[in-house]
C-alpha cells in the first residue's frame, strides 16, 4: 500500500524556525518584504502558498515564506508577535486558541466573532472566509460502520471503551474544541487515545492500529481509505472556515491584497479544496506547485 504519510512534513521545506528567532529577524530586517507563514498542515501550506504567489506575481510584493511553523497555536503566536505577517487560519481555531471562547457551530457567527475581536484586540484583519468548513470529524472504516450500524458519534458509546482513537497532537491537547471538550459533550471516553502526526493517523487506521480517527472534513484521504464520517449529532465541533489573517500594519501598506486574495478564496468550496489537498497528500505534489497550478487555471496569475 502506498504510504499515506502527510505532505505536512514536506510542503515548503524551509527549516522550521522558533517564534523567538523569527521575532528577532522580523525586527532586524531592513526591507519591506511580507512574511507569509503556515503550520505543518497540507491545506494551510497550499493556502499560504497561494497568498505568497498572489503577493509576488500579481501585486509585485517581495515575499518571505516561513513554512512548517509547528502547530496552529505556534503559527498564531508568530502572527501576533509580528514574526509573520500573513497566516491562513480557521475561525474555530482562533476562537479556541486565541480568544479562549467556546466553540461556535454557525459559520457566519464564528467569523463575525473572530473578525471583530481580532481587529479590536490584536490589530489583525480577517479577510472574507472561504466557503468550505474544514471542521474536525470522527471517521472509521466503512466496513466497521456498516457492520455495527454506526452513523453518529453517539453510536460509538457502547463500544468506545474498547476502542483506540487516533488524533493529531493538537486535538488531543486542546481543552475547548479538542478531546477533553468532546468527552464532556458526548459523555464517554475511548479506551485509549493516540496522538500522532496527521499523516501517520491515516496510516494507523488503514493498518488497524487505531479504530477511529479525528479526521479533517476536506482531507482527500477519507475517501481514498473508504472511511465513513460520523454525524456530529450533538453539534460539538465548531465551524472551521478558512480565511487569511493579516497584521493591520501590512494591510494598510498593501490594501490591494484584500480584494486580490478574497477573489481567490471565493472560488474555494469543499470539493475544490479536497481535490487540491489530494494532489499533495495522495499524488505527492509540492504544495506550492498545487497552489500555482490552481491560480494559473483560474487566471489569477500568469
Nearest to 63 by CA among 34, 87, 37: 34
Cell of 19: 517564534
Beta bridge pairs of residue 125: 246
Residues of the chain with CATH 3.40.190.10: 7-133+239-297
Predicted pLDDT at 19: 43
Residue 29: CB atoms within 10 Å: 11
Distance CA 269, CA 69 (A): 25
The residues that bridge with 168 in the sheet, in sequence order, are 196
φ, ψ at 111 (rounded to 5°): -65, -45
The whole-angstrom separation of Cα 150 and Cα 153 is: 8
Mean pLDDT of 11-21: 41
Whether the CA torsion 58, 61, 62, 66 is positive or negative: it is: negative
Give the pairing of strands 242-247 and 124-126. Answer: antiparallel
Say which residue, 8 or 54, is predicted with more confidence. 54
Residue ranges, CATH 3.40.190.120, the chain:
136-229
Helical segments of 149-187, H only: 169-173, 179-186
Work out the percent of the chain whose per-residue pLDDT is above 90.
Answer: 81
* Mean pLDDT score, 134-161: 96
Mean pLDDT, to the nearest integer, of 135-157? 96
Identify the band that residue 31 occupies on the pLDDT scale cut at 50, 70 and 90. Answer: low
User: What CATH architecture does domain 136-229 belong to?
Assistant: 3-Layer(aba) Sandwich (3.40)
Confidence at residue 103, expressed as pLDDT on a 0 to 100 scale: 84
pLDDT tens, residue by residue, 86-125: 999 999 999 989 999 988 889 999 999 999 999 999 999 9
- Quote the CATH superfamily of domain 7-133+239-297: Periplasmic binding protein-like II (3.40.190.10)
pTM of the model: 0.85
User: Mean per-residue pLDDT for 54-70?
Assistant: 96
Mean pLDDT of the chain: 90
Residue 23 has pLDDT above 70, yes or no: no
At 124-142, the pLDDT tens digits run: 999 999 999 999 999 999 9
Amino acid at each position: 500500500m502506498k504510504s499515506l504519510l502527510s505532505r505536512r512534513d514536506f510542503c515548503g521545506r524551509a527549516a522550521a524556525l522558533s517564534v523567538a528567532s523569527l521575532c528577532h529577524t522580523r525586527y532586524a530586517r531592513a526591507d519591506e518584504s511580507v512574511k507569509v507563514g503556515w503550520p505543518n498542515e497540507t491545506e494551510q501550506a497550499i493556502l499560504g502558498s497561494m497568498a505568497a504567489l498572489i503577493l509576488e506575481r500579481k501585486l509585485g510584493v517581495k515575499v518571505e515564506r516561513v513554512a512548517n511553523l509547528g502547530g496552529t497555536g505556534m503559527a498564531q503566536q508568530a502572527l501576533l508577535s509580528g514574526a509573520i505577517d500573513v497566516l491562513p487560519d480557521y475561525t474555530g481555531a482562533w476562537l479556541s486558541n486565541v480568544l479562549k471562547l467556546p466553540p461556535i457551530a454557525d459559520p457566519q457567527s464564528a467569523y463575525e466573532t473572530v473578525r471583530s475581536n481580532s481587529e479590536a484586540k490584536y490589530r489583525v484583519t480577517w479577510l472574507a472566509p472561504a466557503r468550505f468548513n474544514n471542521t474536525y470529524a470522527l471517521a472509521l472504516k466503512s466496513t466497521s460502520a456498516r457492520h455495527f450500524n454506526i452513523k453518529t458519534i453517539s453510536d460509538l458509546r457502547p463500544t468506545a471503551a474498547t476502542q483506540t482513537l487516533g488524533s493529531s497532537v493538537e486535538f488531543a491537547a486542546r481543552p475547548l474544541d479538542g478531546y477533553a471538550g468532546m468527552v464532556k459533550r458526548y459523555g464517554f471516553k475511548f479506551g485509549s487515545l493516540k496522538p500522532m502526526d496527521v499523516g501517520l493517523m491515516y496510516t494507523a487506521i488503514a493498518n488497524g492500529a487505531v479504530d477511529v480517527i479525528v479526521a479533517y472534513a476536506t482531507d482527500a484521504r477519507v475517501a481514498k481509505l473508504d472511511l465513513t464520517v460520523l454525524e456530529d449529532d450533538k453539534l460539538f465541533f465548531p465551524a472551521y472556515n478558512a480565511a487569511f489573517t493579516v497584521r493591520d500594519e501590512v494591510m494598510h501598506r498593501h490594501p490591494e491584497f484584500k480584494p486580490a486574495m478574497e477573489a481567490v478564496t471565493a472560488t474555494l468550496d469543499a470539493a475544490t479544496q479536497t481535490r487540491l489537498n489530494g494532489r499533495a497528500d495522495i499524488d505527492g505534489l509540492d504544495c506550492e506547485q498545487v497552489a500555482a497550478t490552481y491560480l494559473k487555471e483560474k487566471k489569477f496569475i500568469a
